[in-house]
């Protein structure tokens, strides 16, 4: 990675401190989209991230919920830094929140940080009582 791209990143390359306090968006970090420079501002890059070990808690029973979180976005100026994303997703571990709310919060927090051309977040939650929930949250942003 170009050192200029990584100059503002705090989590990458440092000792890891895990925080399990409620989906803390302050844990998220971003770096300049290297493809944007190379493609003269064209938003032709799509990034798909799969996080298969997401956990949160049922807000009514306190039982754990397990999911694969899939983030699919077209970055403009910024890309999410993967270690900060891991720490952010891990911060949901002790949070009591419904599936739909978790997925929507992840989408909103990433959209606020990155301001991508578009972003979609899907939560593929493990079945409970024989029913699977796969909520999806999508945001689109106007081209500049």
Question: Is 77 an active-site residue?
Answer: no
Cβ 19 vs Cβ 66: under 8 Å: no
Size of the chain in residues: 144
Cα distances (Å, whole numbers) of residue 127 to 9, 31, 105: 37, 36, 21
Q: Which of 15, 32, 43, 58 is catalytic?
A: 58
Q: Is 58 one of the catalytic residues? A: yes
Q: Is the dihedral of CA 5, 28, 74, 71 positive or negative?
A: positive
Of 65, 79, 102, 109, catalytic: 65
In sequence order, the 6+-apart residues with CB closer than 8 A to the CB of 118 are 73, 74, 138, 139, 140, 141
In 3D space, the residue among 46, 28, 41 whose CA is nearest the CA of residue 114 turns out to be 28
Q: Which residues are the active-site residues?
A: 58, 65
């Amino acid at each position: 990675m170009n050192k200029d791209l990584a100059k503002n990143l705090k989590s990458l390359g440092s000792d890891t401190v895990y925080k399990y306090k409620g989906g803390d968006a302050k844990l998220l970090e971003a770096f300049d989209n290297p493809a944007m420079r190379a493609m003269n501002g064209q938003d032709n890059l799509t990034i798909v991230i799969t996080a298969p070990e997401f956990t949160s808690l049922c807000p009514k029973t306190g039982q754990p919920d397990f999911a694969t979180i899939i983030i699919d976005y077209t970055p403009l100026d910024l890309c999410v830094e993967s270690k900060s994303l891991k720490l952010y997703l891990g911060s949901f571990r002790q949070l009591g929140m419904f599936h739909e709310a978790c997925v929507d919060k992840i989408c909103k927090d990433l959209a606020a940080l990155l301001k991508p051309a578009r972003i979609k977040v899907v939560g593929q939650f493990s079945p409970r009582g024989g029913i699977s929930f796969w909520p999806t949250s999508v945001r689109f942003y106007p081209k500049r």
